[in-house]
Chain A
C-alpha cells in the first residue's frame, strides 16, 4: 500500500522553498559569521554613504544658494562708469537724470547714482574729510570716514533697516540740503545716541543734520560704515567724482527682471554712448548651481562609484569563499531535497541582504553627515527623497550583482562532489 501511495502521490511532485524560509535561511547564513558579514558590507556602506552624503550636501548647498539668489542677487544690477574712450576728460558719464532714465525701464524698482565724495581733494586742505560729531572738544578728534554721495534711489535700492529717523528723499536732493544718513556703528563711535536732539556730523567742519541711522541693509553693506549725503549736496560742496573715483549706479529690480534691465540699462543711460558703462547683471542661477556640483563633487561621486565597485567585488569574493567553505552544506541541502535553483536563491538572497544592509547603514551615515554639516553651517539640510529611496536599492542591486556568479557556481556543484568533502 505504501508503495502505491508513493507511486501515485509522490510522482511529479517538486521540492518547494517558501519565501519566508529562504530569507530566514539567508539571514542565518549571514549571522553565522557576523564579523565577516560586517566587513563584507563595509564597501557598500562606504559607497552608498558617500553617494548619499554628496547628493545631500549638493542639494543642501544648492537650496542655500537658491534662497540667497532669489532674495538678492536676482534683483540687483550694478552699472559702472568706465567712461569708454573718453574716460580721461569726462569724469562722470552718468547724465543728471540717470535715475529717472533707468527708472523707466520695465521691472526697475529703485535706481540711484553714487560715488565716494572727496572733501579733501575739493578743499585742498588736510583734515577737510574728517568727520566729527562736534566742531570742538574731545569728540572733535574725529575719524576718517568714507563719505558717500548718493541720490535717494541708492538708499532705497539698498533696502535699509532704520534704527532711527528716515532716509533723505527727492526734496533734500532737489534742495541740496545739508543732511546725512549714517550707519549705526558709526553713530555709536561718534557718540550719537538719539536723533531727538537733532545732532549733526561735521565733515571738514561743515555741519550736516543727521536725519537717519541705518542699522541694516539688504545690499551695499559699506553704507553701514559711511556717512551718506545727497549727491546734489556733495556736488555743491565738493564737486563730482574726482579722477580715479568714478560714479556707479545701483539698481534694484523686481524678481526675474534683472537680466532684462541689465541688457537695456546702458542704452537707457546714454543712447549715444552705451559703451561708457559696464553693466554687471545678477549671476545666473544655473551657473551657480553648476559651480556647486563642480569638479569636487564629481570627484566624490567617482569615489562613491569606486567604493561601490569595491563593495561589489568584496561581496562577490566573500560569497564565493563562503560557497567554497560551505560546499558540504550545499551537498547536504541537495540531499535533503533542495533543487539547484534553491541553492542559487539562497546565496543570491544572502548577498542581496548583505548589500541591502550595507545600503541601509550607508544611507543612515550619509544622512547623518549631511545633517551634521548643515547644523555646523547653520543651513537647512535638504536630501531629495529619491536619494533616500534609491540608496538602499543601489546597495541591494550591488549585492545581487555580486551574488550572481557565486550563486551560479554554488548551484552547479554536483551533490555527490559536494558531499565528498
Chain B
C-alpha cells in the first residue's frame, strides 16, 4: 500500500447489533480528487467511507476544506481522480457520462447552497422541473410537485416566483425539488447557512421528518446545531476526511466551533 492510494481514514456507519444491515448506498474506496492546477490542489485526499440506507450524516469542516468537493463526488457532479466509488451497487467510475447523468437524476436529490431556483418560474414549476429529464408526463409532474410542496409546508406559495419568497421559503422549495423525484440520497450543501435560527430549526425539523421516513441524508454544515441532529458526523480538514469513533455525540458537535475558529 502506497501512502497515495491508502485510505486516509476508514469510516463506516455504526454497526447495528445483530440482524441484516441496511443496504449500502455510498461506498468510497480510496476516493480522492486532485485539481490539476497548476498548482495541483488535493481538494480531497484518498479516503474510504460507507454510508448505509437511512443514515443521517453531517459533514463539517472549515471553509475551503473540501466539503463541497466531497459532496460533488458523492452527487456524481464530479468524477474522482482516483479510487472507486460504488453508488447503490453500481461502480460509477466505470460508467459512461450518459449513464452517470441518468443515475444522478434518478438517485440523488440536491439542495444547493445557492438554492439555484430558476427565476421567472413559480415554485411549482421549479419543483416540477426535477422530473423533466426522466420523461414523467407533464400532468404527473405537476401533481407530484404539488405533493412535494405540501410536504415541505409550502403549498400556499406554489404559484409564487422565487424573487417574491423569503430565504426559508426558497430553502423549502429547493428541498421540495430535491425530494420530488423520490431520490435514495439527499445531499444538502450549507443547508441553513443563510437562515435565522427559527427558520433554520423548522428546516431541520423537515430534514428530521425525511430521515424518519427512511431517506438517506448527507448534510454539509458549519452549524453545530445541525451536526447535533445527525447520527453521524464526518469532519474534513484540508481535504482529509476523518470520523471520530464517537461521531455524532453532542460533545463532538459542540467541540466543532472552536475547531473552525
* Chain A residues with a Cβ under 8 A of chain B: 1-4, 6-7, 10-18, 20-21, 24-25, 28, 32-33, 328-329, 331-340, 342, 414-416, 419, 421
The 5 A-B pairs of least Cβ separation, nearest first, read A337-B105, A3-B23, A7-B89, A337-B133, A6-B88
CB distance from B121 to the nearest CB of A (A): 7
Contacts between the two chains (Cβ within 8 Å), count: 115
Given the known A-B contacts A3-B24, A32-B119, are A10 and B135 also in contact in the complex, defined by CB atoms under 8 Å? no
Contact residue among A10, A33, A331, A415 (Cβ-Cβ distance under 8 Å from B88) = A10
Contact residue among A7, A13, A21, A340 (Cβ-Cβ distance under 8 Å from B132) = A21
Residue of B nearest to A31 (CB): B120
Interface residues of B in 87-125 (CB under 8 A from A): 88-90, 97-99, 101-108, 110, 112, 114, 116, 118-121, 125
Asked whether B251 is an interface residue with its Cβ less than 8 Å from the other chain, the reply is no
Cα–Cα distance between A12 and B106 once the two chains are bound (Å): 12
Residue of B nearest to A7 (CB): B89
Q: Is the CB of A335 within 8 A of B75?
A: yes
Residue of A nearest to B23 (CB): A3
Residue of A nearest to B103 (CB): A10
> Which of A6, A13, A16 neighbours the largest number of chain B CB atoms within 10 Å of its CB?
A6
Contact residue among B90, B121, B133 (Cβ-Cβ distance under 8 Å from A336) = B133
With a CB–CB cut-off of 8 A, which chain B residues contact A342? 133
Q: Is the CB of A16 within 8 A of B89?
A: no
Residue of B nearest to A22 (CB): B132
> Which of A1, A332, A340, A342 neighbours the largest number of chain B CB atoms within 10 Å of its CB?
A332
Asked whether B144 is an interface residue with its Cβ less than 8 Å from the other chain, the reply is no
Can you list 19 residue pairs at the A/B interface with Cβ under 8 Å?
A2-B53, A2-B184, A3-B89, A6-B90, A13-B103, A14-B102, A15-B98, A15-B134, A16-B134, A17-B133, A21-B132, A28-B121, A333-B129, A333-B133, A334-B77, A335-B108, A337-B133, A338-B105, A339-B97
Asked whether B81 is an interface residue with its Cβ less than 8 Å from the other chain, the reply is no
CB distance from A364 to the nearest CB of B (A): 28
Q: Is the CB of B116 within 8 A of A331?
A: yes
Q: Is the CB of B184 within 8 A of A6?
A: yes
With a CB–CB cut-off of 8 A, which chain A residues contact B103? 10, 13
Q: Is the CB of A16 within 8 A of B133?
A: yes
CB distance from B235 to the nearest CB of A (A): 22
CB distance from B151 to the nearest CB of A (A): 18
Residue of B nearest to A331 (CB): B116
Q: Is the CB of A14 within 8 A of B77?
A: no
With a CB–CB cut-off of 8 A, which chain B residues contact A415? 77-78
Asked whether B130 is an interface residue with its Cβ less than 8 Å from the other chain, the reply is yes
Q: Is the CB of B105 within 8 A of A421?
A: no
CB distance from B107 to the nearest CB of A (A): 7
Q: Is the CB of A13 within 8 A of B77?
A: no
CB distance from A215 to the nearest CB of B (A): 71
With a CB–CB cut-off of 8 A, which chain A residues contact B133? 15-17, 333, 336-339, 342
Q: Is the CB of B89 within 8 A of A336?
A: no
Cα–Cα distance between A392 and B108 once the two chains are bound (Å): 42
Cα–Cα distance between A21 and B136 once the two chains are bound (Å): 10
Q: Is the CB of A15 within 8 A of B78?
A: no
CB distance from A419 to the nearest CB of B (A): 6
Given the known A-B contacts A10-B90, A334-B101, A339-B98, are A32 and B106 also in contact in the complex, defined by CB atoms under 8 Å? no
Q: Is the CB of B114 within 8 A of A328?
A: yes
Q: Is the CB of A335 within 8 A of B23?
A: no
> Which of A1, A13, A15, A340 neighbours the largest number of chain B CB atoms within 10 Å of its CB?
A15
Given the known A-B contacts A6-B107, A14-B98, are A336 and B118 also in contact in the complex, defined by CB atoms under 8 Å? no
